[in-house]
Structures are given as structure tokens and as C-alpha cells.
Structure 1
Amino acid sequence: MAYVAPQEFVSKMIEAGESKVFMSTRDTLIRAYMAGAILALAAAFAVTVTVQTGQPLVGAMLFPVGFCLLYLMGFDLLTGVFTLVPLALLDKRPGVTFGGMLRNWGLVFIGNFAGALTTAVMMAIIFTYAWTEAPNAVGERLGAIGESRTVGYAAHGAAGMLTLFIRGVLCNWMVSTGVVAAMMSTSVTGKVVAMWMPIMVFFYMGFEHSIVNMFLFPSGLMLGGHFTFVDYMLWNEIPTIVGNVVGGLTFVGLTLYSTHARTAPKRRVPGVTVPAE
């Protein structure tokens, strides 16, 4: 059957997290680099569609193409490893340590950032004819996004930081659901359909995704956005990463693990034989 039952795909989640801990540095960096580059290109595509059509929903409906492609090719996003790798540690897989988990997260962060930045530079060249003229309409939109989602949050102080954090939480709830959804089917069509839905939700709702932001904000800086790199790190990237960790691990990884891999004992009713699952 194309559909994989929860107990089976949760086992796949744990095994995937374990394999990522033991992956070589070279392979981890390459896979993360390509994931960041592809997702950034999809973000540029979605913003372009939104600007040209005036319909944000159209851009959100098309953005998941990048996410689906990178996961079908076996590349890694930081948001995905935030959810999968801790499960291998929680399951006490031999050789999986807290240090190994942090190593994987650090390498994937570096690879994702390098890939997204590469795409950001290339798109900035396109939007400005290699900085020989002012940014086009898409470039201007990228600069505006960078401002509104850094200094825009800062203007609200603690309330802005809380809003940013919650958007990060909600984002990786959806994105990690997409990661897991790819394991729910054995067919390419099933995987794509399952991944598409939660990714479309996160993008349309304007939730904060740490890797998409690795493209949006460096692009915004290169295209004339009125904010600084420090604004980007303090008022977006760092709080977004923390929110992404909490959202993916709490609402996806731990909930699925606790109820499908480490289920609680069944209730005992006198005189009734409890069926096995």
C-alpha cells in the first residue's frame, strides 16, 4: 500500500535521525548546502509570482515545489533535523550523543546558510543587472520584507520578540509535518501531495522559517533594505531558530514519538481482553 501507518513512519523518523548523526561532515555539508540553495530559489520564485500577480496565495501555492524537490533528492534542512535527530537521542540509539546532535545541527546550519546566501547573491545580480541599476519590483519587495520583519518586530519590543518566536514555532510545526509527511507514503505522488499542504500553509501565513530567512534577509540587505545584519540576527534569525526548534520538536517529533513509538500502557477493563495494535 502507498500509505505507511504511523508506527512505521515514526520508526523511519528515528532511523533518519540516527543516520544523520553518523553522516560524514562532507556529505552533511553538501546536502545542507543544496537544500538551502533550492529552498531559497523557491522563495525567490514565490515572491516573484506574488509581485507579478498581486496574489500572495498563488505564490504560497507554488512555493512548496522547492521543498518537495529537495526532500525527494535527500537533502537536509535545519528545520527537519531539529525534529528528527533528537528522537534518535531520546530513543537511546547506540553512539547517538547530545554532542553528535549539536554537531549535526551546526553543520546543517552552515550548509543551509551557505546555500541560501549563494542563491541570494545570484538573484540580487539578476534583480539589479549586477548592481548597475536600482532593484526591480521583486528586489524592492525583498528589501521591504527584510525591513518589516526585523525593525518591524523591534519597534514592538518584547511583544515583537514574542510574536516572532511564536511565528517560528508555528512555522516548524507545519514544516516538520511536511518532513514527516514524506514518510507517510511509498509513492512519489503521495509524498508530494502530503508535503505540499503544510508547506503552503506556513508560507501563506507568513510564519518564520530560519532557512527561507537566510535568503530573504541577506537579499534584502543587498537590495537596499533599511536594516542591518545585526538587526537580522537579533530580530529574526536567532529567535526564529529557537522557535523552529520548539515547534518542530514539541508539536511533531515528541508527540508522534510518545504516542506511536513509546505508547502508554493500555487501560485494563475487567472482563475485557484488550486487542493488540
Structure 2
Amino acid sequence: MRDSLWLHKIKGDMSNKGPTDIAREIVKIGKKKARLPASSMAILSILAGIYIAIAGQAMITVTHDAAGSVGTGLARLLGGSVFSLGLILVVLAGAELFTGNSLMVVGWLERKLNLKALAKNWSIVYIGNLIGSILIVYLVFFSGIWMINGGAVGKYALSIAVSKADLGFWSALVRGIGANWLVCVAIWLAISGGTTRDKILGIYFPITAFVLLGFEHSIANMFFLPMGLLLKGVVSVPGASSLTLSTAIFNNIIPVTIGNIIGGVLFVAVPYWMVYLKNHNKQQVLLKPELVKRAA
């Protein structure tokens, strides 16, 4: 299979990469992602949605009754630890995740791919992620997994969806910025790693932090919110009436998606490109005359 995902690296090179090498690698990976056939993009994006949704349900199951035993902070830490599985699967198993593909902007800034290719990838991957997430929503619902512990897991899942749908537009947008800032940093660190262990550790800490801090991830919410909408008809929690398809989309999915793009592009892709590629390339150009004189 072609090396087209964030796991791509030079065969036989087990050393950790520095920031400049990571930036160059991201450009190469972005080019490969942009050239994937639409069918491959669709399949890999559905898989990514599935992986993130599985991690989301695992987090719900593990933490649904944890706060009463260990406290809210430790329960969030536990939830973040479990949820990191999602991005670990995306990166190591290979899949296309919309939020992580914000880093493809580095390739566009380097003029290695055009806006049309970038827009095509983002559009197909976003829809594919949604499809994958919905598949797991129905799997969880009709399998009865939500009925674990007398239905407590289902009630907790619904309460999560209600709290997400109750966010204001700007609060959701800002939380979206924070989430994908850390997701893209996690991918950056994963690319730096020379071994599978290094990559897992690079992903684990930023993802755990984003969940612990209560940030919002659009693809994860494509699981949490539809799950809540289905459960609303069979379990009840305070405030559940505020959860509707409209509030899910306009109070959360749209602003969080915008925030995710801002976080990945403006807080990771652009600054690292400016420091490690744009400025580095300028320095190389300035050094050329001096190198020529020395050679003479």
C-alpha cells in the first residue's frame, strides 16, 4: 500500500525527526493525501470516523460512573486517556481524519498542492468521517451497549450530547480551536517519532489534554450528538428537550468545525510553516552567494 498517511516515513529511519524535518514530511504526506483516488479517500475517511466513534463510546463506558468515585478531574483524565485510542488508530492503522488534514495547508503554502485538491480532500473526508461515526452510533444503539449498568451508560451519553448542544456559538468555536490545535500537535509529534511507541506517546498526551480541558472535536461530536438524539427517545436526563437536530448542528457542529479549522491551520500549520519552511528557505537563498564565493 502506498505511504499516504501520517505514519509515512523513510524506510529504515528509526531516529526521531526535528521540527524542520517534520514540516518537510508533512508537505510530502499532504501531496500524497491530495493524490489519493476519491474512492480511497472515502474508505479511509469512513474508517477514521469509525475509530473516533469507537474511542468516544469507550470513553463514555469507562467514565459514566467514574466522577462519583475518583472526582471530576481524574474522571476527565481517565476519559482523555481512553479517547486517545481514536487518533492512535487513525495514525497507526491508517485513515483520513478531517481535523488532522488541516496540516495539508502546509503543502498548499509550499505550493505542492492547490486549493482545489485541498477542498476535494476536506469535503470527501468530512462526509466520510460523518458516515463512519453514524455507523457506530447505530451499532451501539441497536446492540444495546448503551444499556450497560442498567442504562446508566446511555443516560451519561445523552447528558454529554445535551451539554454539547447547549453550548453557545462562540464558546463552541473557541473550544473547537483548542481541540484541533492539540490534535494537530499530536500528529506533529507522532511524525517526529521513530518507533511505534514514540508515536503513541506523542499522540497520547495532547489528546488526553484536549479531552481533560473540555475542548470540542467536530468528528467526535458526529458520534456524541447523533447518539444522544437516538437515546433521547428511550432514556431521559434533565434538559434533554433542548437537544434537537437543529441545536446539534447550529450550536455545535458548525461552530466547532470552524474552530477546528482555525486551530489546525492558524495555530499549527501556518506558524510552523513560517518558522521551519518559509524562513528556512529564505535563509538558504541568502546563503547561496556566500557558498559560491567560498567554493571559488
Regarding TM over 0.5, the answer is yes
The secondary structure found in structure 1 opposite 2:17 is coil
Measured after TM superposition, the shift of residue 129 of structure 1 is 7.8
Partner of 1:122: 139
Partner of 2:61: 48
> Are residues 1:196 and 2:204 paired?
yes
* Count, aligned residues: 255
Map 1:125-144 onto structure 2 (within 5 A): 125-127=142-144, 136-144=151-159
Measured after TM superposition, the shift of residue 56 of structure 1 is 2.6
Structure 1, unpaired ranges of 5+: 154-159, 267-272
In the alignment, the residues of structure 1 paired with residue 258 and residue 16 of structure 2 have an alpha-carbon distance, to the nearest angstrom, of: 32
TM-score (structure 1 length as normaliser): 0.87
Measured after TM superposition, the shift of residue 180 of structure 1 is 1.1
In the alignment, the residues of structure 2 paired with residue 71 and residue 198 of structure 1 have an alpha-carbon distance, to the nearest angstrom, of: 14
Is residue 76–residue 211 contact of structure 2 (8 Å, CA) maintained in 1? no
Partner of 2:188: 180
Partner of 1:213: 221
TM-score (structure 2 length as normaliser): 0.81
In the alignment, the residues of structure 1 paired with residue 262 and residue 144 of structure 2 have an alpha-carbon distance, to the nearest angstrom, of: 35
The secondary structure found in structure 2 opposite 1:23 is coil
Write the letter of the residue equivalent to 1:140: K
**What's the C-alpha RMSD, in Å, of the aligned pairs?**
2.0
CA 69–114 in structure 1, closer or farther in 2 if over 3 Å, else same: same
Partner of 2:125: 108
Partner of 1:148: 163
> Are residues 1:64 and 2:84 paired?
yes
In the alignment, the residues of structure 2 paired with residue 129 and residue 252 of structure 1 have an alpha-carbon distance, to the nearest angstrom, of: 37
Is residue 149–residue 236 contact of structure 1 (8 Å, CA) maintained in 2? yes
> Are residues 1:90 and 2:105 paired?
no
Measured after TM superposition, the shift of residue 163 of structure 1 is 1.1
In the alignment, the residues of structure 1 paired with residue 56 and residue 223 of structure 2 have an alpha-carbon distance, to the nearest angstrom, of: 8
Deviations 1:31-76 (A, max 9, x none): 1110110110011101111114332321212211221122101211
CA 172–69 in structure 1, closer or farther in 2 if over 3 Å, else same: same
Is residue 146–residue 154 contact of structure 2 (8 Å, CA) maintained in 1? no
In the alignment, the residues of structure 1 paired with residue 22 and residue 181 of structure 2 have an alpha-carbon distance, to the nearest angstrom, of: 17
State the 4+ residue runs in structure 1 displaced beyond 3 angstroms: 126-130
